[in-house]
Amino acid sequence: MKQSKASSLHDVIIVGGGPAALTAAIYTTREDIDTLIIERGVVGGLAAVTDVIDNYPGFPDGISGLVLAENLRKQAERFGAKIELGEVLSIHNEGKHKRLETTSGTMHARAILIATGSDYKKVGVPGEQEYFARGVHYCATCDGAFYRDKRLVVVGGGNSAVQETIFLTRYASHIDLLVRSTIKASDVLQDELQPFIKKGKVTVHVGTTTDEIVGKDQFVVKVIGTHTKTGKRHEFAVDGVFIFVGLKPNTQFLKGSSIKLDKIGFIKTDSSLQTAMTGVFAAGDVRSGATMQIASAVGEGATAALKIREYLEGHTHPLQN
């Protein structure tokens, strides 16, 4: 039976279930605003698969990303937020309400918050896609334990690459860190990496590209790279590859909509975190100009919730017309 507009209508639908989304839901539901969260993957987003978060305020010894995500989820649900697993395929402006086409059917909302965050970038080399989950990974906390006493390659030179390399040292016998240009991780993380370099646990290859991931019998056996200055080819015999080369926004479902994106694909918003589509807001890592930090995502989630409340107070509920 076709679902009626009234039965599928919510005050707010939040697309995504990371820290920004869960924080927004805590604020909206505390004010009796009917809130539905739609998450296509893991509740908690990338935070949930981060081993230890050391820079979140209030936790001097750090906190497990999974624990933080779970606490946020429990708090949002305690105030009445509803969480559904599914995927939003498109968003349409129908004036006083917005229509969302989802894998669960058509839904409507008076306001929408897009907090879909970002996903791991790929390096786009031969073998990367073919050996995904068979030696190629993007989450150290998810898959690192499979490589106890094994040799690994980590690709990347930013904070995530160095942080995950440090994490993987608890499992791997040796790690080759391939850095295309220079290490751009924070000084603190670079200092933390030094003891592992001195012990011979980690070897850093600055100015080394990742050209190909080679497999045999369905599993990765080596990585081929090139030194950018000498042009010399290098082969690294490994059991697995972990890739951390940045993030890309999860905004593919917005292509063709009136919601404006920047040249990379992040959502443009005004000072109220509202997008070009009236009544649709964005917060967290998916927003253009975001700092890609959990603390700021949480702050933006709270701000977006307050702006959404102001927006709803200025608009008559469609069911009352």
Q: Quick check: is 202 in a domain?
A: yes
Of 198, 223, 243, the last residue of a domain is 243
CA distances from 83 to 48, 108, 185, 194 (A): 16, 16, 35, 43
- The proportion of the chain whose per-residue pLDDT surpasses 70, expressed as a percent, equals 96
Q: Are residues 13 and 53 in the same domain?
A: yes
- CA–CA dist 64, 236 (Å, integer): 32
Res 320: pLDDT: 39
Question: What does the pLDDT read at residue 48?
Answer: 86
251 plus 107 within the same structural domain: yes
Q: Which of 50-54, 68-72, 119-123 has the lowest mean pLDDT?
A: 50-54
Query: What's the mean pLDDT in 242-267?
Result: 93
d(CA 280, CA 273): 9
Looking at the fold, whether 109 and 23 belong to one and the same domain comes out as: yes
Mean pLDDT of 203-224: 96
97/239 same-domain check: no
Phi, psi of 69 (to 5 degrees): -60, -40
Task: Give pLDDT tens digits for 289-306.
Answer: 998 889 999 999 999 999
Domain annotation covers residue 300: yes
Which residues are 287's β-sheet partners?
A: 267
Tell me what the mean pLDDT of segment 222-251 comes to: 95
Domain identity same for 148 and 111: no
**pLDDT band for position 206 (cuts 50, 70, 90):** very high
Kindly state whether residues 225 and 251 are assigned to the same domain: no
Residue 25 is predicted with a pLDDT of 98
- Indicate whether 1 belongs to any domain: no
Q: The dihedral of CA 302, 306, 307, 312: what is its sign?
A: positive
Write out 52-112 in H/E/C secondary structure.
EECCCCCCCCCEEHHHHHHHHHHHHHHCCCEEEECCEEEEEEECCEEEEEECCEEEEEEEE
**Quick check: 179 pLDDT over 60?**
yes
Q: Which of 34-38, 130-134, 139-143, 262-266 has the lowest mean pLDDT?
A: 139-143
The domain of 176 spans 136-243
User: Which DSSP string do the residues of 122-161 spell out, in sequence order?
Assistant: ----TTTTTTBTTTEES-HHHHGGGGTT-EEEEE--SHHH
Quote the DSSP letter at residue 117: -
CB 245 within 8 A of CB 160: no
Residue 266 maps to a domain? yes
Pairwise CA distance, residues 22 & 44, whole Å? 8
* H and E: helices and strands count for the chain: 6, 19
User: Do 193 and 108 sit in the same domain of this protein?
Assistant: no
- Determine the Cα–Cα distance for residues 249 and 262; give it in Å rounded to an integer: 11
Query: Is residue 125 situated within a structural domain?
Result: no
Per-residue pLDDT band at 51 (split at 50, 70, 90)? confident
Read off the pLDDT band of 315 (50, 70, 90).
low
Average pLDDT, whole number, for the chain?
Answer: 92
State whether 217 and 280 are in the same domain. Answer: no
Residue carrying structure tokens 């040799």: 151
Let me know whether 147 and 46 are in one domain.
no
User: Per the domain annotation, does 2 fall within a domain?
Assistant: no
203 plus 262 within the same structural domain: no
Check pLDDT > 80 for residue 6: no
Helix/strand/coil for 249? strand
Mean pLDDT over 98-111 rounds to 95
**At CA 63, angle to CA 243 and CA 308, rounded to 5?**
85
Torsion of CA 24, 25, 28, 29, to 10 degrees: -160
Domain assignment present for residue 15? The answer is yes
Angle at CA of residue 242, ends 237 and 246, nearest 5°: 135
How confident is the model at residue 7, as a pLDDT? 54
Within this chain, do residues 261 and 235 fall inside the same structural domain, yes or no? Answer: no
- Among 165, 178, 79, 82, smallest CA distance to 123 is for 178
- Answer with the one of 243, 258, 280 that is the final residue of a domain: 243
58-79, pLDDT tens digit by residue? 999 999 989 999 999 999 999 9
Band of the pLDDT at 288, cuts 50, 70, 90?
Answer: very high
**What's the mean pLDDT in 40-47?**
89
Residue 129, domain member (yes or no): no
Clarify whether residues 210 and 170 are in a common domain. Answer: yes
Domain CATH code at residue 164: 3.50.50.60
Residues 6+ apart with CB under 8 A from 250: 16, 116, 117, 118, 119, 286
For residue 319, what pLDDT is reported?
A: 37
Q: Indicate if the pLDDT at residue 266 is higher than 50.
A: yes
Which of 202, 224, 243 terminates a domain? The answer is 243
What is the pLDDT, as a whole number, of residue 119? 87
Contact, 158 vs 184, CB < 8 A?
Answer: yes
d(CA 203, CA 222): 16
Q: How far is CA 224 from CA 105, 192, 220, 241, in A?
A: 46, 27, 11, 11
Number of domains in the chain: 2
